[in-house]
Structure formats: C-alpha cells, structure tokens
C-alpha cells in the first residue's frame, strides 16, 4: 500500500484550519521536503531549522520574507520603480550589511526604550477596551489586536495616531506584494501603496533632520557605530517600515491566536487566571503552540546537503518555525498546550541566530499586558456564536485571524 503524496499547501482550507498533522507527517517522512507546486524546500525538524539559520555562509537571508521568488508582473514592477528599492533591510540582508544595520538599529531600539513603554501600553490597552466593553460583542482583531501594536509603534516612532488606518492598509499591501498571489490589478494598487508608504517615511525622516528629537526615527538618524557609516535616509526609511510591519502584524496574530488557544483549553486559562505568575510562560507557550510567523525563507548560496538531502544552489527554502516548535524530539508532548512549560530559551517563534527577532521584548511586553487584561475586563469572554465568526488570514507564511468575533457578559447599569 502506498500512502498519498504529501501536499504542502498552507493556503488550502484544511491546512489553514489545522496544519499540524501535515507538519508532523513532514517531520516524520520528509523532513527536508521539496514542494513542486511552490518551488520551495520546506525544513520542518527543529535541529535542521537551527542548522540552516546558523549556517549563514550557505543559507542567505535574501528574499527572507518572500514566499515566492517568481518575478512580479511587469505593470507591478513599473509602479514599484517609481519608488525606492524595498531591500535591503534587516530581515533580508547578510554579512556586514546586516551587522552594521543591526548595530545601528539596536542603538535606537534599546531595552530601556522598550521598558519605558510599559505604562503607556497599559493605558492603551485600557483605552481600547473602554471603547467596546459595553457592547458585549466585538471583532477583537478589528477593535483591538491591530490597534494595540499600532499605538505602541506610532508612540515609539512619534507619528500621529490619525495615520494608523492608512499605515495599516499600506502594511497589508506590503505583505500582499511580498506574497504576490493576487491578480495584477490588485497588485498594482498594492504597489501604489508601497510607494506611498516609502514617501511618507522619507518625508517623516527628512522633517527630523537637525532637530533634537526623542522618538525612534530621530534616534535612528543619530545612531553611530565605531567602524561604520551612520544610517542613510533611504536605509532608515526601510528599517522603519521593517519595524512597523514586523512589529504589528505579528503581535496582532499572537493576540488572536492567544485568545482562541486559551478559550479552547479552559483548564489552562483557569490556571493562569488563578496564578498570574504563569503569564510569562503562557505567552511563550502561545507563541510555541501557534507561532504567528509559521516560517520564513532563505536562499541557498551553494550546493549543499541537509539531513542527507541534496539541495542545489539557488534553491528557495522555508525554515519552518511552527513545525520545529511542535517537534516531538525537542518538546515532550509537543501537541499539548501547557502553560507551565518552560520553553522560552528553546522555542523558535522569534527565530534564532543573527536574525533572531529584535522586537521580542516588545512583543512579550504587549502580550503579557493585553491577554490577561482582556479576560479581566470582559467577564465570561467566549467565542461568539454564529457563522464565520473566526476567519483566518491568508498569508502563506503566517498564522492568524482576519476576523475573530468574541462575546462577553455586560452588566445592566
């Protein structure tokens, strides 16, 4: 008897609903798997994922956020050509280019700056909840999960809150361009957004030149490292956009994933509500169990062999964080959601190695504040009844919700 071929198709309805059985099969039967349909190698075991991200000589971060490296249609390229190049930024650069950028950004995006945001994040969480607490029902993605990281980031960057809806639309367009699965007309519209976003941040940076500002963009312009050039305007624009996109879509997804996972495991939720000291481990477990960035990409620089499989130079490869995070060789009972698990140092939801997430402390801080507060402020929080209340987003390498309706009890006044 032959088993059916493995079909890796993250956007299919079954895999959007529950991809984990497929990942388990990949780890078991084809840990280094070639998907003909996507022209993509998928690396699914923990040890192999680490081997890839640690060997930056063989595996370049070029195209790290592009699910497909097929060229974009010409009309889309024509629009993008009216803007600035989208790369290199931190995520998709290598070697000295990456080291210099990372050092410069680290000077501005400091642990102190993140820690100072705590009070502000608490206020923002409550202000957002105040707006819908009396309604008894809300799409929590629309009303809360997008807005919270956007408030945090616009506070840090020193840009007006009124611009959030536009910045959010532009960020989605940026991702749709990277994914490149939409029709040409749609992609052309998205490309116009990308160019508009670049202009917005070039102007924002220009307006800070020569002024002693405190915000993150001003600090980026002021940052200096011993043996490197200060950041240029175009570089600073790309880094700022990188921070804004990497820093909001991921936190949004974690909030939705966190709520659904906790609601599906009421004993674990109860354990955290009874013992707030479990909150930090709960956040790590949510990230391990339902990783928002399911996987990112690498370009193979030279013919190589990984786990006995030959991979040719030029190959496009997906390091599958979400599968690695369920690897039974590393995490006992890997499919069990356990808020007492200690996997902070082990899980790869924030990546590993030189490109490991720069914003992890900021993501953790927001999730530690937001998730318990939602349960505290919205009594008997539950999934809303009805059709289509939980709709998944369709980004190839990410896992999260586009819409998530929840309900709670509202006291009569």
The binding site for ligand HEM (CB under 6 A) comprises 53, 61, 64, 90-91, 102, 242-243, 246-247, 250-251, 254, 287, 292-293, 296, 321, 349-351, 355, 357-359, 362-363
Q: Which is nearer to ligand HEM, 31 or 400 (CB)?
A: 400
Q: Which is nearer to ligand HEM, 91 or 334 (CB)?
A: 91
Q: How far is the CB of 80 from ligand HEM (least distance, A)?
A: 22
Q: Which is nearer to ligand HEM, 52 or 80 (CB)?
A: 52
Q: Which is nearer to ligand HEM, 61 or 76 (CB)?
A: 61
C-alpha–C-alpha distance, residues 323 and 6, integer Å:
15
Q: Which is nearer to ligand HEM, 76 or 217 (CB)?
A: 217
Distances (CA, A) of 293 to 114, 221, 223, 249, 284: 21, 29, 29, 9, 14
Q: How far is the CB of 365 from ligand HEM (least distance, A)?
A: 9
Q: How far is the CB of 224 from ligand HEM (least distance, A)?
A: 19
Q: How far is the CB of 136 from ligand HEM (least distance, A)?
A: 28
C-alpha–C-alpha distance, residues 224 and 71, integer Å:
36
Q: Which is nearer to ligand HEM, 95 or 136 (CB)?
A: 95
Q: How far apart are the first and last CA of the chain?
A: 66
Q: Which is nearer to ligand HEM, 79 or 154 (CB)?
A: 154
Q: How far is the CB of 198 from ligand HEM (least distance, A)?
A: 17
C-alpha–C-alpha distance, residues 317 and 330, integer Å:
22
Q: How far is the CB of 402 from ligand HEM (least distance, A)?
A: 17
Q: How far is the CB of 296 from ligand HEM (least distance, A)?
A: 4
Q: Which is nearer to ligand HEM, 73 or 228 (CB)?
A: 228
C-alpha–C-alpha distance, residues 227 and 127, integer Å:
44
Q: How far is the CB of 410 from ligand HEM (least distance, A)?
A: 30
Q: Which is nearer to ligand HEM, 176 or 238 (CB)?
A: 238
Residue nearest to ligand HEM (CB): 359
Residue 398 bridge partners (DSSP): 293
Q: How far is the CB of 251 from ligand HEM (least distance, A)?
A: 5
């Amino acid at each position: 008897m032959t088993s059916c071929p493995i079909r890796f198709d993250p956007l299919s309805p079954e895999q959007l609903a529950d991809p984990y059985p497929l990942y388990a099969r990949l780890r078991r039967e084809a840990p280094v798997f070639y998907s003909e349909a996507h022209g993509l190698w998928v690396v699914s075991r923990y040890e192999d994922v680490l081997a890839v991200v640690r060997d930056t000589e063989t595996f370049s971060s070029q195209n790290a956020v592009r699910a497909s490296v097929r060229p974009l249609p010409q009309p889309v390229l024509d629009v993008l050509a009216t803007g600035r190049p989208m790369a290199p930024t931190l995520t998709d650069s290598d070697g000295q280019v990456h080291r210099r950028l990372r050092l410069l950004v680290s000077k501005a995006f400091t642990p102190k700056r993140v820690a100072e945001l705590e009070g502000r994040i608490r206020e923002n969480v409550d202000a957002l909840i105040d707006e819908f607490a009396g309604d008894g029902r809300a799409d929590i993605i629309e009303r809360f999960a997008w807005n919270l990281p956007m408030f945090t980031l616009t506070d840090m960057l020193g840009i007006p809150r009124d611009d959030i809806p536009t910045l959010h639309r532009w960020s989605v367009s940026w991702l749709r361009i990277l994914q490149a699965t939409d029709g040409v007309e749609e992609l052309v519209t998205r490309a116009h957004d990308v160019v508009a976003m670049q202009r917005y941040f070039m102007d924002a940076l220009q307006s800070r030149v020569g002024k002693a500002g405190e915000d993150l963009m001003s600090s980026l312009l002021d940052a200096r490292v011993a043996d490197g050039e200060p950041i240029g305007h175009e570089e600073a624009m790309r880094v700022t956009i990188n921070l804004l996109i990497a820093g909001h879509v991921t936190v949004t997804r974690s909030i939705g994933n966190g709520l659904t996972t906790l609601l599906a495991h009421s004993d674990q939720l109860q354990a955290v509500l009874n013992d707030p000291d479990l909150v930090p481990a709960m956040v790590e477990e949510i990230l391990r169990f339902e990783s928002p960035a399911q996987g990112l990409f690498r370009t193979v620089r030279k013919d190589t062999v990984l786990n006995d499989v030959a991979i040719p130079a030029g190959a496009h490869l997906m390091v599958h964080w979400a599968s690695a995070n369920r690897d039974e060789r590393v995490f006992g009972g890997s499919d069990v959601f356990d808020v007492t698990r200690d996997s902070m140092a082990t899980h790869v939801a924030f990546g590993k190695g030189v490109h490991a997430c720069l914003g992890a402390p900021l993501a953790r801080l927001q999730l530690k504040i937001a998730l318990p507060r939602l349960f505290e402020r919205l009594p008997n929080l539950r999934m809303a009844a009805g059709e289509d209340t939980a709709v998944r987003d369709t980004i190839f390498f990410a896992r999260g919700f586009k819409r998530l309706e929840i309900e709670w009890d509202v006291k009569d006044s």
